[in-house]
Amino acid sequence: MEAMLHAKKKEADLADQETDERVRAEGLKLRAQYPIGDGEFTRLLDVEGDKVAEKRLILPSDVMRDELEKIEISQGVLWKHADCLQRARPSEPTYLKPTGSILIRMQARNIRKTLTAERRETLAANVQERERQRVKIKPTMRPEDLKANQDILRRMNKRISFLQNPRYKKADGQGRCPFTVLPNVVTFRSFEIGGVYSIPVKFINTSAVGRRLRVMPSSMPHFTITPITLLRQLNTNTNTQSCEGVVAPGLTAQIEVRFCPTSIRDIDDQLTIHTEEGEFPLVVRARRHLPLLRFAAAAADAAAAGGGTSARGGSEWNGSGLIDCGNTLAGTTINHTLTCRNSGGTADFCLKMAHEIGQGDEENDDMDEEAEGEDAATPLEVGAFSVTPRRFSVKRDEQVTLHTTFRGTEVGPYEEVLYVVSDDGQRWQIDIRALTEAMRVELTHMAEKPCLASSFASHWRTLEEEEALPDA
């Protein structure tokens, strides 16, 4: 027996060596690309099973056979118990076989089969051919079944709506702010540059649940807000506390909107109110009563330098001013006044010449920083005219007087245009005009005798020329 085992072992080694060489010749790798099964020695011993059993030897595969069978049963590969029902089941169905009573009736009534086996095969072939030639129609359901299935699909695809927390449930008026804002528009009026003004804004929770409140400040530096506080009514006293959580239904939260104006222009901006319902704007405005100037000319005082005439103005108030210095001799000085009355809001004004006003450019119509830095008493020189004050401020129902000085050195008409510009960009036009004349002397009699003008050379002189002549 030992010799037989050695012989089988040698034969198995040679077979394994041939398999290894064949696999390597094909370019495969053992254990990676080629599965390794049982060795040849095991297969040879299985062939010689009778001899092995006769000598009472134990094969390694028989030792693990019971354990391997348990593993296959646990994995569902093998049945733990034999299927007796499957064994008892006949190979062919028996429910179509005739019973004994049916056979007796068939004999008594002489019922015989009319179709032979060949005829049955022919009919079966015809049926198959008709089935093959029949047009394939997509199977459809009956209308009532189709509707029932569609209802099922619709219910399956329908989104299930559970009860929602009322805090996050949209109100009937979707898009409405859950807070009542008082006032709903914050407007600052009658403000002055450099002051600080504040307006309280209340937020009343009118919903049925507590709401969170957050107010975002403005993007402009003019408007600021204070932290949100919660108002509580205790008897007759009103106490406030910091509001960092939820505003309960019916309670009131408050902030203060502060305004620090750097100019008296109209400003429009908005704050943003954040709630669970969304974002809502709170409009903030700065408005002033616009100034409204009216002009009325007054009698001017005649200047003493060489004499002169002064124009008289009417007492009617007009929207545009007129300074008419009248007629005067060349080289003389004349003064005239124009009264400006403000029937609107308080404002600052300055005088500008025509070339300083932009054509359709509103930015050039405002009071610039250079004009604000000049002395108000410095006169504005417009051609031969000098107007003062250059800058002035007029309150409501007050008036200011513009003093105009004219000195013309040449004979002829003088016309200039002047503008009064307010700090909010409005402007009013003032027309200034004057006429200078020369003194003409004609000799008509000499020694009580008439003289003809053609006998003497006429000479036109002004007062300045007279002053330039040497003393006699």
Residue 284: pLDDT band by 50, 70, 90 thresholds? very high
Question: How does DSSP classify residue 107?
Answer: H
Q: How far is CA 238 from CA 227, 233, 234, 241, 277, in A?
A: 17, 5, 6, 10, 29
Instruction: Taking residues 201-225, report their average pLDDT.
Output: 88
183 and 279 fall within a common domain: yes
Bridge partners for 231 per DSSP:
240, 252
Residue 255 CA to residue 202 CA, distance in Å, equals: 7
Q: What is the pLDDT of residue 218?
A: 84
Q: Which residue has the tokens 């040497």?
A: 470
Using the predicted structure, report yes or no on whether residue 258 has a pLDDT greater than 90: yes
80 within a domain of the structure (yes/no): no
Question: How does DSSP classify residue 451?
Answer: -
Structural contact between residues 265 and 424, judged by C-beta atoms closer than 8 angstroms:
yes
Residue 389 CA to residue 368 CA, distance in Å, equals: 17
399 within a domain of the structure (yes/no): yes
Instruction: Taking residues 145-164, report their average pLDDT.
Output: 83
Residue 204 CA to residue 249 CA, distance in Å, equals: 8
Q: Which of 26-40, 104-118, 321-335, 391-405 has the lowest mean pLDDT?
A: 26-40
Q: What is the pLDDT of residue 97?
A: 83
Sign (positive or negative) of CA dihedral 122, 124, 126, 129: negative
Token duo for residue 373? 């830095």
Q: If phi over 0 gives left and psi between -120 and 50 gives alpha, with beta otherwise, what is residue 110?
A: left
330 and 419 fall within a common domain: yes
Residue 35 CA to residue 458 CA, distance in Å, equals: 143
Q: What is the mean pLDDT of the chain?
A: 76
Instruction: Taking residues 99-107, report their average pLDDT.
Output: 90
Using the predicted structure, report yes or no on whether residue 453 has a pLDDT greater than 60: no
257 and 345 fall within a common domain: no
Q: What is the pLDDT of residue 126?
A: 93
338 and 392 fall within a common domain: yes
Higher pLDDT, 271 or 166: 271
Q: What is the pLDDT of residue 202?
A: 92
Kindly report the backbone phi and psi dihedral angles of residue 145, in degrees, each rounded to the nearest multiple of 5, phi listed first. Answer: -70, -40
Higher pLDDT, 274 or 31: 274
Domain of 404: which CATH number? Answer: 2.60.40.10
Contacts of residue 363, defined as CB under 8 A and 6 or more positions apart, other chains included, come to: none
203 within a domain of the structure (yes/no): yes
217 and 265 fall within a common domain: yes
Q: If phi over 0 gives left and psi between -120 and 50 gives alpha, with beta otherwise, what is residue 179?
A: beta
Token duo for residue 236? 């007759």
Q: What is the DSSP string of 59-100?
A: -HHHHTHHHHHHHHHHTTSS-SS--HHHHHS-SS--TTS--H
Residue 343 CA to residue 7 CA, distance in Å, equals: 135
Q: Which residue has the tokens 């060795």?
A: 39
Nearest to 452 by CA among 464, 460, 443, 461: 443
Contacts of residue 297, defined as CB under 8 A and 6 or more positions apart, other chains included, come to: 311, 312, 313, 314, 321, 322, 323, 324, 336, 337, 338, 339
Higher pLDDT, 327 or 168: 327
426 within a domain of the structure (yes/no): yes
Using the predicted structure, report yes or no on whether residue 460 has a pLDDT greater than 70: no
Residue 52 CA to residue 78 CA, distance in Å, equals: 28
| pTM, entire model | 0.41
Token duo for residue 351? 């005088």
Structural contact between residues 397 and 343, judged by C-beta atoms closer than 8 angstroms:
yes
Domain total for the chain?
2
Using the predicted structure, report yes or no on whether residue 333 has a pLDDT greater than 70: yes
Residue 300: pLDDT band by 50, 70, 90 thresholds? very low
Residue ranges making up the domain that contains 186? 179-233+244-287
Instruction: Taking residues 263-273, report their average pLDDT.
Output: 85
Higher pLDDT, 107 or 9: 107
Half-sphere exposure of 160 (CA within 13 A, CB side): 2
281 and 382 fall within a common domain: no
Instruction: Taking residues 313-335, report their average pLDDT.
Output: 72
Cα angle, residue 410 at apex, residues 407 and 414 outer, rounded to 5°: 65
Q: Which of 220-229, 250-259, 330-339 has the lowest mean pLDDT?
A: 330-339
Structural contact between residues 413 and 435, judged by C-beta atoms closer than 8 angstroms:
yes
105 within a domain of the structure (yes/no): no
Q: What is the pLDDT of residue 234?
A: 40
281 and 212 fall within a common domain: yes
Contacts of residue 319, defined as CB under 8 A and 6 or more positions apart, other chains included, come to: 293, 294, 295, 428
Contacts of residue 353, defined as CB under 8 A and 6 or more positions apart, other chains included, come to: 380, 382, 416, 417, 418, 419
Tens of pLDDT, residue by residue over 344-403, are: 877 788 888 887 776 444 444 455 544 444 566 678 888 888 888 888 888 888 888 888
279 and 329 fall within a common domain: no
Q: Give the largest CA-CA distance in the chain.
A: 193
Q: What is the pLDDT of residue 204?
A: 92
Three-state secondary-structure class, residue 467: helix
Q: Which residue has the tokens 């003093």?
A: 403
Tens of pLDDT, residue by residue over 7-17, are: 877 887 788 77
464 within a domain of the structure (yes/no): no
430 and 353 fall within a common domain: yes
322 within a domain of the structure (yes/no): yes
328 and 413 fall within a common domain: yes
Token duo for residue 215? 């107010």
Contacts of residue 226, defined as CB under 8 A and 6 or more positions apart, other chains included, come to: 255, 256, 258
Using the predicted structure, report yes or no on whether residue 51 has a pLDDT greater than 80: no
224 and 329 fall within a common domain: no
Tens of pLDDT, residue by residue over 394-447, are: 888 888 888 888 888 888 888 888 888 887 778 888 888 888 887 776 667 777
139 within a domain of the structure (yes/no): no
